[in-house]
Amino acid sequence: MPSAPPPHMPAPLPPFDLDLLRSFVTIVDSGGFTRAAERLGRTQSTISLQIKRLEDGLGKRLFLREGRGLDLTPDGEILLTYARRLLGMAGEACALLMEPEVGGVVRLGTPEDFATAHLPDVLWRFSRAHPQVALEVQCDFTVNLLDRFARGEYDLVLCKREPQGPAGGVRVWREPLFWVASDRLILDAGAPVPLVLAPAPDIHRKRAIDALDAHGRPWRMAYTSPSLAGIKAAVTAGLGVTILPKDMLAPGFHIVNAEHGLPDLPDIETALYRQPGPLPKAVDLLAEHIVRSLERTADRTAAG
């Protein structure tokens, strides 16, 4: 079990019935109870009672019955937008379920750390929903990812980018970066900052060096490792500082931004890019799945 979903709270009170909502929007779209009844194949009295049920359940009036004309109340207007979204989503779900099982291959490129931190659960769920889809996930540096993506070697890539990075992709993640070190590190305010970073074509590396240079702070490269595990090991050993998002801190790591006068770092963004043109349906399913899954998580994390 990669990660148990959070225990769903007792669920307060959704007095929502999709059938009622459908009647509701049909009334609005067709401009009357009677016409809606025809369109839905029900009696007019049924529609009338359905709306009554909705209104009673919410304790709010939805329509202004002013003689002939039929108008939405403010609450009705609010409900209408949600009703449309709910029905649309339900229809989407239905359509997807009725479709024959999709198969094929999806080639996904991603940074290693991102894959480790956020993808396992997401990909696990996807592979369970679409067991006939073969996932080919490759981890690499952002520059290489973009390069191979441009050559068409990936259908989808997740890429770190500056907040104002290349357009076109869908942002799926955004979080602040921090300077981190372990207790063992003794940082001399005057001495060059010892850095533990990935080798050259790495966006974290560029970030760190640019930020230090911009502040005129001297630095030296203390340790270089292409893998996140290697970097963490070196930091744990007290060989230097590295930069990480908050939720990737290993045990014993501390954020040392202020304490050592290190410059603040701009947020890091991860975006999903899709190869243009027609691709197997599985590709878009995965893209959608990734965006949806991460957006929920990100909302929770970066609330406020």
Task: List contacts with DNA (CB under 7 A).
Answer: 17, 19, 32-35, 41-46, 48-53, 63, 65-70
Cα distance between residue 217 and residue 277, in whole Å: 46
Binding to a copy of itself by residue 50, rule CB under 8 A? no
Strand ranges (E), 111-209:
133-139, 156-161, 170-175, 177-182, 193-197
Binding to a copy of itself by residue 207, rule CB under 8 A? no
Ramachandran angles phi, psi of 139, nearest 5° = -100, 140
* Shortest distance (Å) from residue 17 CB to DNA: 6
* Shortest distance (Å) from residue 109 CB to a copy of itself: 21
Strand ranges (E), the chain:
63-66, 69-72, 104-110, 133-139, 156-161, 170-175, 177-182, 193-197, 219-224, 242-245, 253-255, 268-274
Which residue, among 252, 159, 240, 234, has the nearest Cα to 203 in the 3D structure?
Answer: 159
> Using CB distances below 5 to 8 A depending on partner kind, what does residue 68 bind out of a copy of itself, DNA, none?
DNA
Cα distance between residue 83 and residue 15, in whole Å: 13
Binding to a copy of itself by residue 15, rule CB under 8 A? yes
Binding to a copy of itself by residue 216, rule CB under 8 A? no
* Shortest distance (Å) from residue 304 CB to a copy of itself: 10
**And the tokens for 139?**
């981890």
Considering the complex, state which of residue 39 and residue 254 has its C-beta at the smaller distance from a copy of itself.
39
**And the tokens for 243?**
């930069």
Report helix angle 112-129 to 281-301, nearest 10: 120
Considering the complex, state which of residue 36 and residue 285 has its C-beta at the smaller distance from DNA.
36
Which residue, among 117, 120, 112, has the nearest Cα to 140 in the 3D structure?
Answer: 112
Coil, helix or strand at residue 25: helix
**And the tokens for 78?**
């609010």
Site for a copy of itself in 51-70 (CB under 8 A): 58, 60
Check: CB of residue 288 under 8 Å from CB of residue 163: no
Considering the complex, state which of residue 17 and residue 259 has its C-beta at the smaller distance from a copy of itself.
17
> Using CB distances below 5 to 8 A depending on partner kind, what does residue 148 bind out of a copy of itself, DNA, none?
none
Whose tokens are 């592979």? That residue is 127
* Shortest distance (Å) from residue 219 CB to a copy of itself: 26
Binding-site member from 45, 52, 77, 192 for a copy of itself (CB under 8 A): 77
> Using CB distances below 5 to 8 A depending on partner kind, what does residue 226 bind out of DNA, a copy of itself, none?
none
Q: Between 278 and 297, how does the x/- string for binding to a copy of itself read (CB under 8 A)? A: -----------x--xx----
Check: CB of residue 219 under 8 Å from CB of residue 188: no
Q: How many residues does the chain have?
A: 304
Cα distance between residue 1 and residue 16, in whole Å: 32
Q: Between 28 and 47, how does the x/- string for binding to a copy of itself read (CB under 8 A)? A: xxx--------x--------
Binding-site member from 81, 215, 229, 264 for a copy of itself (CB under 8 A): 81
The site for a copy of itself (CB under 8 A) is made up of: 4-8, 10-18, 22, 25-26, 28-30, 39, 58, 60, 72, 74-75, 77-79, 81-83, 85-87, 89-94, 96-97, 101, 125, 128-131, 162-168, 269, 289, 292-293
